[in-house]
Amino acid sequence: MKTVGIICEYNPLHIGHRKQLAWIHKNFGEDAAIVCLMSGNYVQRGEPAVFDKFVRAQAAICCGANLVLELPLTKAIHSAEGFAMGGVDIFNRLGEVKYLCFGSETGQIAPLWQTATLLQSETFSHKLQELLPSGLSFPAARQKALEAMGEKGDTLTRPNDILAVEYCKALLRTNSTIEPLTISRPGDYHAETPNRENPSATAVRKAILQCQGDWKACTPEAVWELYSKAARYDFASGERAFLARLRSMSDAEFAALPFSSEGLWNKVKTACRTQSTLEEILQAAKSKRYPYSRLKRMLLCAYLGITQEHMDKEVPYVRILGFDGTGRKLLRKFRNTGEIPLINAGADCPDKDYQSLEIRAANLFTLFAQEKENIKCGMEQAGRVYCREK
């Protein structure tokens, strides 16, 4: 059995993702097994997912994935580097994953691997440190450092390529035996209008949350009914709960936040205590050095009670969200050869502190439900594993 891993969010799963799953089965044969390591209720951009993790896991199984595991919370809401490293580390510890498949604008491994290798070099590190004091943002300084080494640096200007390079870096750093595979990801990642051939998740999310009918064409037929009946979540719906948490935090709690180096926590604290809305807080705290996405992740950590200590801790286990018949066989292999516990959704865990963090985060997630939804607290404890036997 050839095991192919995908690190994903599926926020939500659309026809572009379905094409990737179909490509893997076509190129690796029917005996291939696809294991998805998927973000839970919160995603890397520092927001709640549009559907809960149980709905999104079921959608993945219905569209060709064989096993869906949850990328633990503290890795799912990390920077692109931490997100990629967290996923690769778990796949390494599972022990049976042979390939890591991801999309990229470049569509070829060689240039991505070359960029990742340069980013690991001492020469790059020195050049980056020379440029950062100039006031450039980290992404801009990184690109200029690469250009100073004779590289174009344009690979790090495209969103899927950026994450693809981080996957390659993580494989290099961990001396992984997992082989990287990339497929071309056409279309505009940030497009806000659904494209029926190559939709962006941004456009599909916007259409779903605004109840626009044109998102149906971007959704695999197998999950349309599932999505249409599922509760929907968005950042705006939980704003008052979010603000209540931010306005009650102490100085020490702000100082302990992740992503808050160089005194950023103090700037964020001031914004939280003077501004009226979440958008005003973000606008007051952002700068060329501190981008919007970093601030959103930082505020989400504040809301959830996540500290830098939580983020630095090695994840103690991985939750199972869904599987089919092939996935069941793969689970047995992982449990026999892997070095990380696999826990059913809703079950007790070996690390009670981390479990408490997960439960708190799930309970707070329900406050992002759109007004028409009636979502009860206790989502994590009532969690279910989706099983679809072939």
Q: For 196-228, how does the pLDDT look when each residue is reduced to its tens digit (9 = 90+)?
A: 677 788 888 888 887 766 788 889 999 999 999
Helix axes 278-285, 264-274, angle to 10 degrees: 140
Domain stop point among 94, 123, 157: 157
- Count of structural domains, the chain: 3
Residue 204 and residue 303 in one domain: no
Residue-number span of the structural domain to which 276 is assigned: 237-310
Domain stop point among 250, 284, 310: 310
Residue 209 and residue 320 in one domain: yes
Domain stop point among 310, 332, 357: 310
Residue 325 and residue 263 in one domain: no
How far apart CA 58 and CA 43 sit, in angstroms, is: 17
Taking only the tens place, the pLDDT of each residue in 288-337 is 777 888 999 999 999 999 999 999 999 999 999 999 999 999 999 999 98
Per the rule left: phi > 0, alpha: psi between -120 and 50, beta: everything else, 210 is alpha
* Res. 194: pLDDT tops 70: no
Residue 170 and residue 94 in one domain: yes
Render 306-367 in DSSP notation, one character per residue: --HHHHHSPP--EEEEEEEHHHHHHHHHHHHH-SS-EEETTS--S-HHHHHHHHHHHHHHGG
Residue 64 and residue 195 in one domain: yes
Residue 229 and residue 241 in one domain: no
Residue 197 and residue 337 in one domain: yes
Residue 150 and residue 166 in one domain: no
Domain containing residue 227: CATH number: 3.40.50.620
With bands split at pLDDT 50, 70 and 90, how would you rate the model's confidence at 191? low
Residue 99 and residue 200 in one domain: yes
Residue 218 and residue 356 in one domain: yes
Residue 246 and residue 371 in one domain: no
Higher pLDDT among residues 137 and 54, named by residue: 54
Residue 260 and residue 338 in one domain: no
